[in-house]
Amino acid sequence: MSFTFNDKISMVGGTVFAVVPNIRPDDLIVTVIMAFVGAIASFIASMLLKCLAKKLFKR
């Protein structure tokens, strides 16, 4: 089965318009905050591991 560009856009658009009205604003805010905290934690962990790796493999 082959999908054209219009078919793909129609599926994405239908999915978005079916899902968006069901998302409550407070859920969206919590999701944004959790994504931000996760990104910061990931960044800090990668910087700490990078620093640790430099110290361990410096010799």
Rounded-to-integer distance, Cα 45 and Cα 53, Å? 12
Query: With the C-alpha atoms ordered 22, 27, 29, 33, is the resulting torsion angle positive or negative?
Result: negative
Rounded-to-integer distance, Cα 40 and Cα 35, Å? 9
How many CA atoms within 13 Å lie on the side-chain side of 37?
Answer: 6
Q: Is the pLDDT of residue 3 over 80?
A: yes
Q: Residue with structure tokens 């591991």?
A: 49
Read off the pLDDT band of 59 (50, 70, 90).
Answer: low
Q: Residue 33: what residue type?
A: I
pLDDT tens digits along 12-47: 999 999 988 888 989 989 999 999 999 999 999 999
